[in-house]
């Protein structure tokens, strides 16, 4: 796999490691947003690299990526995250998590402080970004404090608050009904992470941990729900369902078969 590592990735990773060393082992203050930007560049570059290789394979211009699975996964992970017999367990977890989100979101969508003025988020951001004279501030990372301050100064809470409220309801409904379960769990996890970054622990660590498990078991977590019918129909970007394949038509299928023949 060494031939698939782009030089720019090596440079970016080296820059991150170097800046971390400067920040934590010297007295030089390196802004947190710089780490965030470089990290985002590494992730975007890796995704772009993967997509480029995928398109080359589909076009028959290059070999398929070499597997790096030198150690086999334990059987219990295959059972937990890929066996339909575990669907009842996932049903209990996702309904519990969905009720938590629906309960939290319903209280927000029926509140003027969230849906009309956004003052609820304004007060939350104000308290989170405040730096006390004594003790540690609520936010540990300067870049996240700067991010919230940026939105607070521009009064973005007026439209962010309704998005949060509606998102919590949608995540709750999706988890309870088992509709796009993995997507719903991921959306909930992102809100858990944002709340924890703002210094609010509460139930977020537990709910976030459950969301991670549901994301890992996305193929079977919604089997006792809407995903039993949605996943076979829609599939995934790397494995289209029968509805997507049907929309491509016979011409697309014939072209795909020709590409596979030329690649082999």
- Give, in order, the Cα–Cα distances in Å from 88 to each of 93, 95, 126, 129, 224: 9, 11, 43, 42, 7
Residue 105 pLDDT more than 60? yes
Query: What percentage of residues in the chain have a pLDDT greater than 90?
Result: 52
Dihedral in degrees, nearest 10, Cα atoms 206, 207, 211, 217:
60
Mean pLDDT of 79-108: 93
Burial of 148: CB neighbours in 10 Å, binned 0-12, 13-18, 19+: buried
Angle (nearest 5°) at CA 56 between 55 and 59: 85
- Give, in order, the Cα–Cα distances in Å from 98 to each of 168, 186, 189, 196: 9, 12, 12, 19
Highest mean pLDDT among 15-19, 82-86, 115-119, 247-251: 115-119
pLDDT at residue 16, as a whole number: 76
pLDDT at residue 133, as a whole number: 83
Beta-bridge partner residues of 108: none
> Lowest-confidence range among 39-53, 76-90, 189-203?
39-53
Which helix (DSSP H) or strand (DSSP E) does residue 182 occupy? helix 181-197
Chain position carrying tokens 């962010």: 160
pLDDT at residue 127, as a whole number: 93
Query: What percentage of residues in the chain have a pLDDT greater than 70?
Result: 86
Rounded Cα gap, residues 97 and 206, in angstroms: 10
Confidence of residue 217 (pLDDT cuts 50, 70, 90): very high
Nearest to 171 by CA among 206, 134, 214, 132: 214
> Lowest-confidence range among 7-11, 222-226, 235-239?
7-11
Residue 256 pLDDT more than 60? no
Query: The pTM is what?
Result: 0.76
Angle (nearest 5°) at CA 245 between 185 and 249: 150
Mean pLDDT of 65-87: 79
Rounded Cα gap, residues 244 and 31, in angstroms: 45
Residue extents of the structural domains in the chain: 2-58, 75-225, 228-263
């Amino acid at each position: 796999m060494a031939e698939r590592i782009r030089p720019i990735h090596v440079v970016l990773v080296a820059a991150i490691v170097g800046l971390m060393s400067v920040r934590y082992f010297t007295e030089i203050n390196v802004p947190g947003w710089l780490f965030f930007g470089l990290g985002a560049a590494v992730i975007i570059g890796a995704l772009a690299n993967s997509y480029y290789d995928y398109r080359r394979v589909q076009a028959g211009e290059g070999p398929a990526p070499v597997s790096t699975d030198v150690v086999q996964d334990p059987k219990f992970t295959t059972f937990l995250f890929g066996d339909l017999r575990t669907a009842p367990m996932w049903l209990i977890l996702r309904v519990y998590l969905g009720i938590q989100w629906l309960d939290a979101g319903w209280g927000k969508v029926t509140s003027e402080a969230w849906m009309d003025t956004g003052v609820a988020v304004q007060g939350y951001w104000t308290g989170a970004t405040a730096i006390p004279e004594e003790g540690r501030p609520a936010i540990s990372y300067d870049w996240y404090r700067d991010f919230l301050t940026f939105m607070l100064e521009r009064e973005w809470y007026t439209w962010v608050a309704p998005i949060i409220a509606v998102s919590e309801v949608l995540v709750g409904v999706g988890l309870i009904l088992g509709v796009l379960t993995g997507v719903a769990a991921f959306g909930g996890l992102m809100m858990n992470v944002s709340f924890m970054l703002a210094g609010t622990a509460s139930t977020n660590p537990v709910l976030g941990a459950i969301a991670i498990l549901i994301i890992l078991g996305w193929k079977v977590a919604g089997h006792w729900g809407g995903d039993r019918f949605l996943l076979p129909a829609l599939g995934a970007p790397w494995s289209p369902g029968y509805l997507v394949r049907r929309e491509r038509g016979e011409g697309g299928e014939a072209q795909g078969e020709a590409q596979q023949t030329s690649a082999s």
